[in-house]
Amino acid sequence: MDKINRHSNYPYGIIDCDVHPYPADKDAIKAYLSQPWRDRYNGGGRGHYSNPVHGERLDSRPPGGGPGGSDPDFLREQHIKPYGIDHCVLLPRAFCNLHPDPDFATAIAAAYNEWLAETWLGKHNYDGVFKGSITIAHQDPAAAAAEIDKWAGHPHFVQVMTDSGARAPFGQRQYYPIYEACARHGLPFAIHPGTDGMGINIQPSPGYPTHYIEWHTCLPLGFQAHLVSFITEGVFERFPDFRIVLVEGGVAWLPALMWRLDAEYKALRYEVPWLTKRPSEYLRDHVRITSQPLERPDQDSHLLQTLEMMDAKQLLMFASDYPHWDFDSPQFAFPKLPVDLRKRIFSDNARAWYGL
């Protein structure tokens, strides 16, 4: 037995049974991982369900440095000018609804709003091309409503936004102060994928998915649950001026879901007597859905049929998801469309919804 460090105060020695060694950085552990784990390992941190390839278009990184989507003028050069885009609706990724502390989450949301107003919607918006989303932390509905009230008069904020990750379906009544504020100011409420099953949020599937591809494929499922909740809870009856936008949650699932919900309503309307019409009839007045990532079946005819089934002419609004990996180009995202349908999807529907 070694006698090093034997102090007279502890003549029998000390065994400490809980001491933590740290690698100097994550690369020290990466060196011991084989592929594909080496690339995927990020040293812990945010952890599960991050894109294993890369989350952004590599060509979207500005020449001056920074991540894709961080330089308004480069975005103009790369995205707005080549496609002749009139407005980009900006949805910052604050991820504030991950946090258990609603005050911290609300502070992050407020910081994102100040930043967006000062930069993209302020000094960088000399041509008025950028329209913004008011980020809110839905964990604290009263604080979220105050944040909406604060920014609603701003000329370039056109909607309120949250991520789809949640602890309760969005039709439930704890959220109503948010919807009341949206309706009061005529601002649509946009739901964007993200934080599902992360932080304090429930994973909306029968247990945790294993891979990013599984998690990401299933993002529309949570969207569908939120939409059914909005409708069956009667949110659109309670707040007749309340409107929502489903962003980046898939498109082609809409007909099947509405057919099912309409059939259920026929048998079970007893349970939701506040509804005054068939569930699917709420869509036209209260719901819009953005196109990216647009499903592309092998046969274009199947997509065109689906667009007709879902009333895309009224409900669908184009989105690219720039600068992300699964970007949809205005040029290639859709097959050839009838001119009127194309005009509505690419421009008219959003102009009407956002008052542009």
CA atoms within 13 A on the CB side of 34: 0
**Sign of the alpha-carbon torsion through 48, 98, 116, 288:** positive
Q: Which is nearer to its own copies, 17 or 58 (CB)?
A: 58
Q: Which of 217, 276, 352, 356 binds its own copies (CB under 8 A)?
A: 217
Q: Closest approach of Cβ 279 to its own copies, in Å? A: 9
- Is residue 291 a contact point for its own copies (CB under 8 A)? no
Q: Which is nearer to its own copies, 160 or 235 (CB)?
A: 235
Q: Which is nearer to its own copies, 62 or 250 (CB)?
A: 250
**How many CB atoms are located within 10 Å of the residue 17 CB?**
4
Q: Closest approach of Cβ 154 to its own copies, in Å? A: 30
What the block records as the tokens of 336 is 């050839």
Q: Which of 107, 146, 200, 218 binds its own copies (CB under 8 A)?
A: 218
**Sign of the alpha-carbon torsion through 67, 128, 162, 107:** positive
User: Binding mask 10-29 vs its own copies (x if CB under 8 A, - otherwise)?
Assistant: --------------------
Q: Which is nearer to its own copies, 71 or 233 (CB)?
A: 233
Region of 88 (left: φ > 0; alpha: ψ -120 to 50; beta: rest) is beta
- Of residues 158 through 197, those in contact with its own copies by CB under 8 A are 164-172, 196
Alpha helices in the chain (DSSP H): 27-30, 37-40, 72-75, 81-83, 102-118, 141-151, 176-185, 212-217, 219-232, 235-238, 254-268, 283-286, 300-309, 312-315, 339-343, 349-354
- Is residue 97 a contact point for its own copies (CB under 8 A)? no
Q: Which of 205, 238, 313, 342 binds its own copies (CB under 8 A)?
A: 205
Contact 108, 94 (CB under 8 A): yes
Q: Which of 32, 37, 83, 259 binds its own copies (CB under 8 A)?
A: 259
Q: Which of 118, 271, 285, 300 binds its own copies (CB under 8 A)?
A: 271
Q: Closest approach of Cβ 61 to its own copies, in Å? A: 18
- Residues with Cβ within 8 Å of residue 317, at least 6 apart in sequence: 245, 288, 289, 290, 291, 345, 349, 350, 353
- Is residue 41 a contact point for its own copies (CB under 8 A)? no
At 305 the three-state DSSP class reads helix
- Is residue 56 a contact point for its own copies (CB under 8 A)? no
- Is residue 68 a contact point for its own copies (CB under 8 A)? no
Which amino acid, 7?
Answer: H
Size of the site for its own copies (CB under 8 A): 69
At 163 the three-state DSSP class reads strand
- DSSP code, position 192: E
Outline where DSSP puts E strands in 153-209.
Answer: 157-163, 189-192
Backbone angles phi, psi at 287, to 5 degrees: -135, 135
Report the Cα 12 to chain-centroid distance in Å: 60
- Of residues 300 through 339, those in contact with its own copies by CB under 8 A are 302, 305-306, 308-309, 325-326
Q: Which of 81, 260, 277, 284 binds its own copies (CB under 8 A)?
A: 260
Q: Which is nearer to its own copies, 110 or 231 (CB)?
A: 231
Q: Which is nearer to its own copies, 132 or 323 (CB)?
A: 323
User: Binding mask 219-258 vs its own copies (x if CB under 8 A, - otherwise)?
Assistant: -xxx-xxx-xx--xx----------------xxxx-xxx-
Which residues are at the interface with its own copies (CB under 8 A)? 36, 51-53, 164-172, 196, 201-202, 204-214, 216-218, 220-222, 224-226, 228-229, 232-233, 250-253, 255-257, 259-261, 263-265, 267-268, 270-272, 293, 295-297, 302, 305-306, 308-309, 325-326
